[in-house]
């Protein structure tokens, strides 16, 4: 399995390729707020580990292994955003919170959170029941 920081790179590269059709070192650096030389170093490591193929003047392409993991990482990020949203976390906190927790959960925990999101989405009464509890707790503070 890739390390947390490798995961961030694979996730960003996957999203850039989905959005624009390509991922340039400068775009990756901007998305992750890091220096382009750090991107080059990581991209070389990801190439060595066969997540992508990097050619200095032609850019980079994800291998099928890189695409598969990239897709799962983007799914995980989106699922965790949905989860925080459904439990009522303030919108302004959601992105940063997901970035903070996404690398630290097992896939087992991700799957169970997926069940919980589904549980709330299947019956809107469940979301309302949760909101009632949140309202009570706020009133009691
Ligand atoms: Co993320």
pLDDT at 92: 98
pLDDT tens string 6-42:
999 999 999 999 999 999 999 999 999 999 999 999 9
Contact yes or no for 28/16 (Cβ under 8 A): yes
CA of 57 from ligand 1 middle (Å) equals 28
CA of 99 from ligand 1 middle (Å) equals 5
pLDDT tens string 91-133:
999 999 999 999 999 999 999 999 999 999 999 999 999 999 9
Contact yes or no for 130/116 (Cβ under 8 A): no
Contact yes or no for 105/140 (Cβ under 8 A): no
CA of 84 from ligand 1 middle (Å) equals 14
CA of 63 from ligand 1 middle (Å) equals 20
Distance CA 81, CA 141 (A): 26
CA of 11 from ligand 1 middle (Å) equals 7
CA of 49 from ligand 1 middle (Å) equals 21
Specify the residue for token string 């390509």: 22
> Which residues have C-beta under 5 Å from ligand 1, the single-atom ion?
77
pLDDT tens string 35-89:
999 999 999 999 999 999 998 777 899 999 999 999 999 999 999 999 999 999 9
CA of 132 from ligand 1 middle (Å) equals 30
CA of 77 from ligand 1 middle (Å) equals 5
Q: For residue 49, what is the DSSP state?
A: T
Angle separating helix axes 25-32 and 4-20, nearest 10 degrees:
120
CA of 34 from ligand 1 middle (Å) equals 15
Q: Phi/psi at 33 (nearest 5 deg)?
A: 55, 50
């Amino acid at each position: 399995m890739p390390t947390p920081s490798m995961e961030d790179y694979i996730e960003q590269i996957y999203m850039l390729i989905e959005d624009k059709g390509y991922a340039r070192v400068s775009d990756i650096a901007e998305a992750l707020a890091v220096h382009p030389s750090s991107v080059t170093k990581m991209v070389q490591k990801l190439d060595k580990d066969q997540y992508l193929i990097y050619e200095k003047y032609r850019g980079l392409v994800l291998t099928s292994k890189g695409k598969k993991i990239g897709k799962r990482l983007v799914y995980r990020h989106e699922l965790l955003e949905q989860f925080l949203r459904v439990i009522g976390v303030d919108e302004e906190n959601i992105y940063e919170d997901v970035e903070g927790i996404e690398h630290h959960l097992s896939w087992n925990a991700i799957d169970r959170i997926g069940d919980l999101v589904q549980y709330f989405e299947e019956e809107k009464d469940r979301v309302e029941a949760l909101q009632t509890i949140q309202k009570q707790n706020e009133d009691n503070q």
